[in-house]
């Protein structure tokens, strides 16, 4: 048989130890698929002494010198599952420049400085694969990179963060508020002790940047992504959504558009939004992920699966390892970064969105006219209005509820409309403001 392809594994936590386990358990199958055995040359860890249970690995392979391991001549492929910007960036740039192939699950680094990695890969001639960086085990990046290359993607809408989807699913199911649902998620291990990266949308924004880059052949970084988390989603919002036949999801959206000058642009954003229960994304519950793609010729596509967890992520990592190992044996590189379109990123204020707004208003003639006038002043067209007695005010008799859903308008105009409504005398309170997606 051919001489082995040798791997350096950087990191041996939840994902890394699953990679080690799968390499061990499926070594015969993997060798058949690659055409040569896969062999671990070494594993870089933070602490040598840690108890690693029954991990099927020779302790002599462990090292704390990641850079030394990467530089070894007998290492062909570097697999990084450490995460974070540094020292991962330095390690991977070093590896790629030296001509090694890299498989990484590091979404933060790719979103922060993917360009540096792609440039280093081009310089060294190795492959850079990162299927595990978005939506865990769901084979998603390869279809975007390759299968849809003959098509034109217009929009990508995804649920790409399992923690927030678990929390929102719980709020929807039980009527609980955000804090209570977060507590449950933490208890069950779906949320980390510090949940900021998840609940504030940073994790989803990094994935949005990666998805947008691939879908639109344009370098999009985390800084280009408009980001809102779910911490301000209330039980009242969830109830409003239900009343509309909708559910609330934290969506990452990357959409092609055209600016005032007629140039093609792309807008990339992460925020909670109402989607109709009939939308395929609405039934994606708990910690599952799914990405909905709209392409010119292919129409609507959806990819669904587990977005996180040691084994699912390790599956995606190993799929990439098999691919880059085969490429090395064949002496070839996969398609490199495709950023030829280089579309300008449009700021959130110019993105076209729809709003759902619930108001408690004084129950007297002329109120609807006054409210509608505010929308008109901002050139925002109203799609539907529903009037009823305000929730929680029954008995007072003087208030009414107005629920308004708009047509699409520039996000800035919608935000300004809501701002002005808040200042109106006749508006007692704005009880819920949510963007609407998915064709309500």
- How many residues form the binding site for a copy of itself (CB under 8 A)? 57
Binders in 51-70 for a copy of itself, by CB under 8 A: none
Q: What six digits make up the tokens of 266?
A: 């792309």
Contacting residue, 52, 97, 217, 242, with a copy of itself by CB under 8 A: 217
44 binds a copy of itself (CB under 8 A): no
Stretch that binds a copy of itself, among 58-66, 142-150, 156-164, 419-427 (CB under 8 A): 142-150
Is residue 283 within the footprint of a copy of itself (CB under 8 A)?
Answer: yes
Among 10, 12, 20, 30, binds a copy of itself (CB under 8 A): 30
Cis peptide before 87 (omega within 30 of 0): yes
Report strand pairing: 246-258 vs 153-159.
antiparallel
Using CA atoms, how far apart are residues 153 and 226, in angstroms rounded to an integer?
A: 20
If the CB atoms of residues 336 and 381 are measured against a copy of itself, the closer one turns out to be 336
Q: What's the min distance (Å) between Cβ of 1 and a copy of itself?
A: 13
d(CA 314, CA 300) in angstroms, rounded, equals 28
**In whole angstroms, what is the distance from residue 24 CA to residue 18 CA?**
10
Q: How many C-beta neighbours within 10 Å does residue 327 have?
A: 17
> Which residue lies nearer to a copy of itself by CB, 231 or 338?
338
Percent of residues in the chain assigned helix, strand, coil, to nearest 5? 40, 25, 35
CB of 50 to a copy of itself, least distance (A): 23
Please give the full DSSP string across 313-355, using - where no structure is assigned.
HHHHHHHHHHHHHHHHHHT---------S-PPBPPGGGSEEEE
For residue 176, how far is the Cα from the chain centroid? 24
> Does residue 365 bind a copy of itself (CB under 8 A)?
no
326 binds a copy of itself (CB under 8 A): yes
Contact status: 137 vs a copy of itself (CB under 8 A): yes
Q: Which is nearer to a copy of itself, 28 or 369 (CB)?
A: 28
Q: Is 22 annotated as a binding residue?
A: no
The full length of the chain comes to 440
With contact defined as beta carbons under 8 Å apart, do 364 and 117 qualify? Answer: no
Which range of residues in 130-138, 154-162, 378-386, 432-440 is near a copy of itself by CB under 8 A?
130-138
State which residue, 216 or 375, has the beta carbon closest to a copy of itself.
216
| Alpha carbon distance 140, 316 (integer Å) | 10
Member of 155, 219, 249, 306 binding a copy of itself (CB under 8 A)? 306
The residues, ordered by sequence, that sit 6+ positions from 344 with a Cβ below 8 Å of its Cβ are 259, 263, 265, 266
Catalytic residues: 207
Q: Is 381 among the residues that bind a copy of itself (CB under 8 A)? A: no
DSSP for 184-237?
Answer: HHHHTTSS-SS-HHHHTSHHHHHHHHHHHHHHHTS---GGGSEE--STT--HHH
Q: Does 371 bind a copy of itself (CB under 8 A)?
A: no
Contacting residue, 55, 116, 311, 408, with a copy of itself by CB under 8 A: 311
Annotated binding site for NADP(+): 10-17
Annotated binding site for L-homoserine: 192
Interaction site with a copy of itself (CB under 8 A)? 18, 22, 26, 29-30, 32-33, 131, 136-139, 142-143, 146-152, 217, 280, 283, 295-306, 309, 311-312, 314-323, 326, 330, 332-333, 335, 338, 340-341
Annotated binding site: 10-17, 107, 192
């Amino acid at each position: 048989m051919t001489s082995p392809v040798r791997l350096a594994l950087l990191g041996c936590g939840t994902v890394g130890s699953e990679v080690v386990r799968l390499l061990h358990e499926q070594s015969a199958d993997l060798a058949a698929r690659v055409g040569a055995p896969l062999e671990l040359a070494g594993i870089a860890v933070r602490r040598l002494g840690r108890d690693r249970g029954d991990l099927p690995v020779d302790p002599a392979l462990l090292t704390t010198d990641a850079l030394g391991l990467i530089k070894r001549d007998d290492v062909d492929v570097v697999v990084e599952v450490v995460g974070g910007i540094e020292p991962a960036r330095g390690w991977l740039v070093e590896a790629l420049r030296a001509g090694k192939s890299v498989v990484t699950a590091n979404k933060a680094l790719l979103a922060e400085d993917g360009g540096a990695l792609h440039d280093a890969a081009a310089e060294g001639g190795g492959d850079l694969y990162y299927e595990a960086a978005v939506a865990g085990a769901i084979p998603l990046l390869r279809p975007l990179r390759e299968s849809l290359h003959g098509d034109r993607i217009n929009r990508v809408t995804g649920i790409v963060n399992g923690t927030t989807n678990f929390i929102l699913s719980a709020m929807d199911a039980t009527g609980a508020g955000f804090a209570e649902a977060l507590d449950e998620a933490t208890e069950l291990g779906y949320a980390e002790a510090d949940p900021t990266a998840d609940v504030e949308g940073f994790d989803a924004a990094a994935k949005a940047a990666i998805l947008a880059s691939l879908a639109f052949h344009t370098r999009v970084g985390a800084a280009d992504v408009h980001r809102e988390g779910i911490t301000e989603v209330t039980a009242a919002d969830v109830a409003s959504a239900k009343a509309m036949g909708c559910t609330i999801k934290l969506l990452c959206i990357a959409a092609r558009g055209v600016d005032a000058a007629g140039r093609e642009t792309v807008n990339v954003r992460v925020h909670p939004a109402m989607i109709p229960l009939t939308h395929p994304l609405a039934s994606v519950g708990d910690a599952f992920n799914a990405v909905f793609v709209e392409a010119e010729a292919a129409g609507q596509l959806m990819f669904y699966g587990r977005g996180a967890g040691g084994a699912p992520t390790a599956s995606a990592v190993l799929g990439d390892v098999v691919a880059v190992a085969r490429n090395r044996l064949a002496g070839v590189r996969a398609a490199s970064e495709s950023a030829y379109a280089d579309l300008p990123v449009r700021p959130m204020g110019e993105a076209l969105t729809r709003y759902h707004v619930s108001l408690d208003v004084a129950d007297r003639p002329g109120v609807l006219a006054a409210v509608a006038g505010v929308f008109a002043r901002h050139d925002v067209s109203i799609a539907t209005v529903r009037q009823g007695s305000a929730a929680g005010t029954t008995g007072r008799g003087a208030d009414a509820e107005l629920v308004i859903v708009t047509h699409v308008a520039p996000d800035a105009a919608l935000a300004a409309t809501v701002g002005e409504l808040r200042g109106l005398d006749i508006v007692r309170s704005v009880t819920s403001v949510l963007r609407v997606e998915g064709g309500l």
